[in-house]
Structure 1
Amino acid sequence: MITLLHLMSALALLVWGTHIVRTDVLRVYGAQLRRILSTSITRRWMAFTAGVGVTSLVQSSNATAVIVCSFVAQGLVGLTPALAIMLGADVGTALMTGVLSFDLSWVSPLLIFGGVVVYLSRRHTSVGRLGRAVIGLGLILLALELIGSATQPMMHTAGIKVLFSSLTGDVLLDALIGALFAMLTYSSLAAVLLSATLATSGIISLKVALCLVIGANLGSGVTALLSAASQNVAGRRVALGSMLFRLSGAIVVLPFINQLELVIAQFSNDLRFGVVTFHVIYNSVRCGLLLPLVEPMARLCIRLLPENPLDDDAIHSRHLDPAAIDTPTLALANASREVLRIGDLIERMLHCLLPVIRENDTIRAQQIRRIDDDVDKLYTEVKMYMARVSREELSAREVRRWTDVITLTINLEQAGDIIVRIVKGLENKKIAPQRTFSEAGMQELCELHARLLASLQLGLSVFLEGDLRSAQKLLAEKESFRDLERAYAKSHLIRLAGQTQQSIETSSLHLDLISDMKRMHSLFCSTAYSVLDEAGLLRHSRMENSHEDEERLRMMERPEGDYSHPP
């Protein structure tokens, strides 16, 4: 049992090492690698080569699959070149398996030591993240050495032999186990290297190892399918095509596994070398032969996964690319673009609100509710997307942007709820009883609505560009809106005192409206605080605001007509 635990811990270390390498390489070079994949599509062989190169760097065909599926889902890459990239990714991960199969145990201590020194000294820089990727590479090599050491005692352990004795003879069962293992570890590389090590130790036969390798390729395809499940139909077609390519290769090769075992045994006595070489040759030949068939495969995937007309009616996020999660700068940029879409929806709600206030337009009221449902859906998607962005490795500037995105998302969603509440109040207190606002009251509401709309547009501009002057203007507009809200509340009370019938009937609704508009305006102006804080002006502005508030309170407490200055 202890021996098995040592093997599992070494295997976990191998998976963790590949995860570190993939994550940190994408964080440093994610934008460049994505650009390579999105531009190398003019020719089939260029796309194939790009897939080989990118996957060799990130050491994961699944990571490449996620990126490519998201590109196709957004319409940046066609399905045919995307399938060519995926074939290249299969070759790239096989080549990296071949490189790591060599005895590089002497390099592992150097990589771990050097990587730790670089990472601790420059933790929050690109160099530090590359240092962590070097640590991951050293852990991979160390894990391979530990796996080899852990498997040596297994040759003399009866319990372990019984455990692996089920992996004999049944080709389909062995391939299935290899697929499950690749899915559990999220790495076909780990499955192939473990199979090679177990074969070298004599725990499993060469035939079983070859079946596990083929199964590991299938498991990697299933993982890509599951990762693409959240994409639209276009993105899922890429994963489906890649899986069909892998499945066709397995169907062709598995019936000849006995003959392949004999051939490999004749050419090499080193079973580890034989298994890894089979993996490299199998993927290279399979992908090379299937590359001319990417166009027919694209047509087949389109036929198997047709567009759903209902998808066009439902709103979906356009910019929340899951493949950019490991590249925080890109992820924050994507989330910012999606938040601006929410801002556009809130602007549409405000445009629809004015006819409801003025003309009792019930059709616009229903439209506002439908738009609010879209706002809520995008709000949830942005929130969940941002929750997946790890804040541990973000720079101070990125943390500030992360906070700004979350804050504006929440504020816009709350603004949408306020608009819906306003509509409900209008329906209950104005539209149903057939009441109207006074002419002066309607003019005041229209003025507040126009200022509210302008501040929303300015607030979104400040969020996008971070312009200091615009932020100062937005904060000044907030003070002006607050003064206007107080003045209009006072004028409404004057109309009540004059026994204006329309003002009496709609008094509570009118005051609720201007109060809700003030709340919304404060939410729209909140984007100014981050810009002012970064410029070191926020505390000074707040101090000025507090002095102005005190002066207003003193003015309100003076007897009417007394405008003398205090001593």
Structure 2
Amino acid sequence: MQELQVIIAFSGFIALLLWGVHMVQTGVQRAFGKTLGLWMGRAMGSLPRAFGTGLVITAAIQSSTATGLMITGFAVTGLVSLVPGLAAMLGANVGTTLIVQALSFNPTALAPGLILVGVWMFRHYAPGRARDLGRAFIGLGLLLLSLNELVTMFEPLKNAPMLGTALDALGDAPVLALIASTALTWASHSSVAVVVLIMSLALHGLADPALAYTLVLGANLGTAINPVLEGGHDDNPASRRLPVGNLGTRVAGCALGMALLPWADPIMHALGSDAAHSVANFHLIFNLAVALCFMPVLRPYARLLRRFLPQRSDPDDPARPRYLDASAREVPAVALGQAAREALRLTDLLRESLQLTQHALLRNDGQAIGRARYLNGVIGQLDQSITTFLATQDQESLSAEDEQYLKLILDFSMNIAHAASVSGMGLLGHASRLHKKHWALDTGQKAELADTLERLQRNLRQAAALFVSADRQVARNLAFEKEYFRSLEAKAAERHLERIKTGLLDAAEIGAFYLEILRDTGGINAYLVNAAAYPILARHGELRPNRLREAD
């Protein structure tokens, strides 16, 4: 019975440790996620900067796996080349050792204060950066408390025969110990938690130095597996170059580490004051050694990866950027022109999506729903590619006019993507509901909706033309379209109320449903106006701060 309680307690504190790491990671990513991503993409220009970027990002979010997936995402879109990406991964692997170094000093006394501050921030602030940082502080406090409890738990286990036998068996089979640690790290998604657990085993004499260092090698190998499994889900082998390359550096480092293991203990003993610090130092020195060995040979290593994982691209894939060329970043005018051309592609795709949506709503076409959803997803992917491409542009090379044009392209692309999102989540959702419930709009509703969707597509063509021409009068005309959609919704709401008053309750549900469709068309039109008309009118000083009349 006592053994069962110990197992349950041990498993619970391990779960608390993993949950603390998860809360820190998600809290930092929610607070600075987009900023971290943009900063990472902008800082990948040279190998030293890429290495430092990977190190700093990982130290902030406490997960080399999350950093690896982020860098892989940049590499898949072609916005980060393979060599800087590999350098950033080496930096990420070193960054996770800094977390272990900090935890090796047992800062448990800070845990209650961190949890107190975190809970206060989480409950006091509205959803936003401050609240997300409070979540990260809570996670850090839970992490420190769980580590302290685990260290305390191992104290009475020094003389446990079963644990000693298991660890002795692993000590006699280093390859098995390496595999076991690799599997545990892969399953937990956290090399930090596994290495800290190894530190606790070493501190209490449950694992001799050779076994502890072997387990650390396995933890480093296990943390490289998740990006390989999660980073590339398509049929293009090139999308797996970066995670496979990182795994290759881990495998080579572990093979060398296993060969040099007999000489590791004297060196670590000289550097560390106790067994726990020796494990943390070995973790740090191993990753630094791997980085120093591979940094000079990253370019030939990248050529080898390109040879065995060739690029396989579908030229007809609409989600593939057609005009974004990384080599054009040196000439801002060319880079901005390419981004603007890619942004115009979004309007072509959105127009096709709206045509399919019209078929789905008016002709109950189920196949059109699936195709339109796919196109809306493509628009979101292209918007992300455009955003990352512009974010990685060297800001020092941009003039004031270039910076203004860059913001204009970003606003246009973002608003078109938001319009596609409203179309996908709103109009296509309504089309699916019509299809599933076998509802039918009446003749007047169908005619009005057809005219509305045609008008929406015409406004989309005007928005695309405005993005190129910046005509002031056309911008005013497009802005006045918002009044048409407001009036349309108001008239439909009046008709709906009249039907309810006259007792036509059967049509009330359809009427409310039709009102939701009109609201979403107005939302899409509002994003089109925000994308193209408002920036021009704001530049000419023709926009009021709000629609409120000044008080008398």
Q: Decide: shared fold, TM above 0.5.
A: yes
Pick from 265, 270, 289 the counterpart of residue 293 of structure 2: 289
Q: CA deviation at 1:182?
A: 0.9
On the 8 A contact 1:167/1:204 being kept in 2, the answer is: no
What CA distance in whole angstroms lies between the structure 1 residues aligned with 2:288 and 2:148? 27
**Partner amino acid for 1:527?**
G
**Partner amino acid for 1:256?**
L
Q: Aligned with 1:166: secondary structure?
A: helix
Q: Render the CA deviation track for 1:194-253: whole Å, top value 9, x for unaligned.
A: 011111112222211111111111111001111202365444211111111111111111
What CA distance in whole angstroms lies between the structure 2 residues aligned with 1:126 and 1:229? 30
On the 8 A contact 1:83/1:294 being kept in 2, the answer is: yes
Corresponding residue number in structure 2 for 1:527: 523
Q: 1:345 to 1:173 in 2, by over 3 A?
A: farther
Q: CA deviation at 1:14?
A: 1.2
1:102 equivalenced with 2:105 (yes/no): yes
Pick from 57, 61, 78 the counterpart of residue 60 of structure 2: 57
Q: Aligned with 1:141: secondary structure?
A: helix
Corresponding residue number in structure 2 for 1:409: 424
Pick from 190, 194, 202 the counterpart of residue 193 of structure 2: 190
Q: CA deviation at 1:173?
A: 1.1
Q: CA deviation at 1:481?
A: 11
Pick from 127, 134, 137 the counterpart of residue 134 of structure 1: 137
Question: How many residues are aligned here?
Answer: 423
Q: TM-score, normalised by structure 2?
A: 0.66
Pick from 71, 82, 87 the counterpart of residue 84 of structure 1: 87
Q: Render the CA deviation track for 1:427-456: whole Å, top value 9, x for unaligned.
A: xxxxxxxxxxxxxxxxxx999978633323
Q: Aligned with 1:151: secondary structure?
A: helix
Pick from 171, 174, 193 the counterpart of residue 171 of structure 1: 174
Corresponding residue number in structure 1 for 2:454: 453
Q: 1:282 to 1:379 in 2, by over 3 A?
A: same
Corresponding residue number in structure 1 for 2:352: 345
On the 8 A contact 2:419/2:524 being kept in 1, the answer is: no
What CA distance in whole angstroms lies between the structure 2 residues aligned with 1:172 and 1:275? 18
Q: 1:460 to 1:101 in 2, by over 3 A?
A: farther
Q: 1:214 to 1:461 in 2, by over 3 A?
A: farther
What CA distance in whole angstroms lies between the structure 2 residues aligned with 1:25 and 1:92? 15
Corresponding residue number in structure 1 for 2:123: 120
Corresponding residue number in structure 1 for 2:47: 44
Q: CA deviation at 1:101?
A: 1.1
What CA distance in whole angstroms lies between the structure 2 residues aligned with 1:287 and 1:474? 59
Q: 1:308 to 1:446 in 2, by over 3 A?
A: farther
**Superposed, which structure 2 residues align to 1:540-551 within 5 Å?**
none
Q: Which range is displaced more, 161-170 or 34-43?
A: 161-170
1:375 equivalenced with 2:372 (yes/no): yes
What CA distance in whole angstroms lies between the structure 2 residues aligned with 1:520 and 1:107? 52
What CA distance in whole angstroms lies between the structure 2 residues aligned with 1:472 and 1:107? 57
Q: 1:214 to 1:350 in 2, by over 3 A?
A: closer
Q: 1:210 to 1:110 in 2, by over 3 A?
A: same
On the 8 A contact 2:350/2:379 being kept in 1, the answer is: no
On the 8 A contact 1:455/1:474 being kept in 2, the answer is: no
Q: CA deviation at 1:22?
A: 0.9
1:156 equivalenced with 2:165 (yes/no): no
Q: Aligned with 2:223: secondary structure?
A: helix
Q: CA deviation at 1:530?
A: 9.2
Q: Which range is displaced more, 130-139 or 187-196?
A: 130-139
Q: Aligned with 1:193: secondary structure?
A: helix
Q: Aligned with 1:107: secondary structure?
A: helix
**Partner amino acid for 2:484?**
K
What CA distance in whole angstroms lies between the structure 1 residues aligned with 2:427 and 2:462? 14
Q: 1:30 to 1:521 in 2, by over 3 A?
A: closer
What CA distance in whole angstroms lies between the structure 2 residues aligned with 1:370 and 1:314? 19
Q: 1:527 to 1:342 in 2, by over 3 A?
A: farther
Pick from 483, 488, 491 the counterpart of residue 472 of structure 1: 483
1:9 equivalenced with 2:12 (yes/no): yes
On the 8 A contact 1:475/1:528 being kept in 2, the answer is: no
Q: 1:99 to 1:266 in 2, by over 3 A?
A: closer
Q: Render the CA deviation track for 1:475-511: whole Å, top value 9, x for unaligned.
A: 44679999xxxxxxxxxxxxxxxxxxxxxxxxxxxxx
Q: CA deviation at 1:47?
A: 0.9
1:306 equivalenced with 2:310 (yes/no): yes
**Partner amino acid for 1:56?**
A
What CA distance in whole angstroms lies between the structure 1 residues aligned with 2:489 and 2:191? 57
Q: 1:340 to 1:93 in 2, by over 3 A?
A: farther
What CA distance in whole angstroms lies between the structure 2 residues aligned with 1:95 and 1:460? 53
What CA distance in whole angstroms lies between the structure 1 residues aligned with 2:108 and 2:6? 21
What CA distance in whole angstroms lies between the structure 2 residues aligned with 1:297 and 1:127? 42
Q: Which range is displaced more, 374-383 or 52-61?
A: 374-383
Corresponding residue number in structure 2 for 1:75: 78
Q: 1:223 to 1:338 in 2, by over 3 A?
A: farther
What CA distance in whole angstroms lies between the structure 1 residues aligned with 2:210 and 2:35? 41
What CA distance in whole angstroms lies between the structure 2 residues aligned with 1:155 and 1:189? 23
Q: CA deviation at 1:380?
A: 7.8
**Partner amino acid for 2:113?**
L
Q: CA deviation at 1:266?
A: 5.9
Q: 1:411 to 1:448 in 2, by over 3 A?
A: closer
What CA distance in whole angstroms lies between the structure 2 residues aligned with 1:521 and 1:182? 49
Q: Which range is displaced more, 193-202 or 404-413?
A: 404-413
Q: Which runs of 5+ in 1 are unaligned?
A: 319-335, 358-367, 384-401, 421-444, 483-517, 532-567
**Partner amino acid for 1:175?**
L
Q: 1:94 to 1:481 in 2, by over 3 A?
A: same
Q: Aligned with 1:167: secondary structure?
A: helix
**Superposed, which structure 2 residues align to 1:348-427 within 5 Å?**
374-377=371-374, 408-413=423-428
Corresponding residue number in structure 1 for 2:213: 210
What CA distance in whole angstroms lies between the structure 2 residues aligned with 1:481 and 1:148? 67
What CA distance in whole angstroms lies between the structure 2 residues aligned with 1:69 and 1:282? 23
Pick from 119, 123, 147 the counterpart of residue 144 of structure 1: 147
Q: CA deviation at 1:303?
A: 1.5
**Partner amino acid for 1:287?**
A
Corresponding residue number in structure 2 for 1:276: 280
On the 8 A contact 1:182/1:216 being kept in 2, the answer is: yes
Q: CA deviation at 1:188?
A: 0.5
Identity %: 25
What CA distance in whole angstroms lies between the structure 1 residues aligned with 2:345 and 2:247? 31
Q: Which runs of 5+ in 2 are unaligned?
A: 322-342, 381-416, 436-445, 468-474, 494-513, 528-552
What CA distance in whole angstroms lies between the structure 2 residues aligned with 1:378 and 1:520? 22
